[in-house]
Amino acid sequence: MMIRERNHNGVTIVMPVGRLDSSSASQFMSGSPSFSGNGKIVIDLSEVDFIDSTGLGSLVGIARKKREQGGDVRLACLNEKLRKVFEITQAFRLFDIYDDAETAAGRQG
Amino acid sequence: MSASITMNLPSDIRYVRIASNTARSVAELFSGENGGEEGKYEEFRNAFELAVTEAFSNSVRHGNSPDKGRQIFITFSPENEGLTASVADTNPAFNPEIPPPDIFSYPESGYGLLMIRQLMDEIRYSRKDGNNTLTMHKKLKNPHNQ
């Protein structure tokens, strides 16, 4: 899967492109050095058109690892399909979710 | 869509998108023939696609047989004002009633059956002659009359 990265005010914004499913999730999890360490990152999901339970598990795993290391993960730009997955699994309780990535990167806390 | 559609896929995660895309195509065909203009039944199509994807992935993940020729059998049937998908495999039996994972323990897996239960109107599991079959039904409801 293709992963794009950009920086906004010192915060890495990671943007996976395509389907985040059981055939791409492991590639995604190892796809960015920013998934380790104590920095804050934003995962911009605007170019993800489908997510399944394995894709969701990869986001949860990245969040756990980052928070154990003193960092954090925020999510941005979930379409209706993705929001539904976060709703039915209660995973929305684990993440601050924003409508756009730059706001997520800029918000203090 | 008047007849059932069946497909056999290798038990290999590389084939998950074929299962997923076929489920979506079947849901689009079925809902389109039942008055579903563009966008009207999007939630039905999304749910059906995702539930079949999860069932297929579970079958691949829990297959621990050394037999490389193992296959997963998927059937799509229009019935009872909705669509039924059944996903069958020769894996060991499993408990479809496992409790959902505790989200606050940050689980990386275990969401599949929870999602299927939430997305579909009815699910049934059967074990017969060494085969598991997970049958899932989703009614086509008019989103404007709910």
pLDDT digits (tens, 9 = 90+) for A38-61: 999 999 999 999 999 999 999 999
| Residues of chain A contacting residue B57, judged by C-beta atoms under 8 Å apart | 21-22, 52-54
CATH no. for A2-106: 3.30.750.24
Taking an 8 Å cut-off on Cβ atoms, the answer to whether A57 and B109 are in contact is yes
Residue B134 contacts residue B74 (beta carbons within 8 Å): no
**What is the residue-averaged pLDDT of chain A?**
95
Whether residues A63 and B53 touch (CB distance < 8 A) is answered with no
CA-to-CA distance for B12 and A24, rounded, in angstroms? 13
Question: What does each C-alpha distance from A82 to A40, B21, B128 come to in angstroms?
Answer: 22, 17, 35
Q: What is the pLDDT of residue B37?
A: 66
- In chain A, the residue whose alpha carbon lies closest to the alpha carbon of B46 is A81
Determine the pLDDT at residue B145: 56
Inter-chain touch A89–B20, beta carbons under 8 Å: no
Q: What is the pTM of this model?
A: 0.92
Overall number of domains in chain B: 1
Q: Residue B131: left if φ>0, alpha if ψ -120 to 50, beta else—which one?
A: beta
Note the pLDDT of residue B33: 82
Distance from CA of A24 to the nearest CA of B (A): 9
pLDDT of residue B63: 77
Identify the domain containing residue B82 by its residue range: 5-145
Give yes or no for A90 touching B (CB within 8 A): yes
Whether A39 and chain B come into contact, CB under 8 Å, resolves to: no
Min Cα separation A7/chain B (Å):
27
| Chain B stretch 62-121, residues whose beta carbon is closer than 8 A to a beta carbon of chain A | 100, 103-104, 106-112, 114-115, 118-119
With CA atoms as reference, the chain B residue closest to A67 would be B106
Domain residue ranges in chain A: 2-106
CB contact under 8 A, B103 and A89: yes
Residue B57 pLDDT: 95
Q: How far apart are the first and last CA of chain B?
A: 24
CATH (domain of B58): 3.30.565.10
The answer to whether A85 contacts B115, with C-beta atoms less than 8 Å apart, is yes
Question: For residue A22, what are the contacts with CB-CB under 8 A and spacing of at least 6?
Answer: A52, A53, A54, A55, B13, B16, B53, B57, B60, B61
A27: distance to nearest CA of chain B, Å? 13
Q: What is the model's pLDDT at position B40?
A: 78
The span from the CA of B54 to the CA of A53, in Å, is 7
Residue B106 has pLDDT above 90, yes or no: yes
Q: Which residue in chain B has the smallest CA separation from A57?
A: B108
How far are the Cα atoms of A58, A71, A96, B94 from residue B125, in angstroms, in the given order?
A: 28, 42, 36, 9
Residue ranges of chain A with per-residue pLDDT less than 70: 107-109
> How distant, in Å, are the alpha carbons of A43, B46, B119 from that of B98?
31, 24, 17
Higher pLDDT, B1 or B116: B116
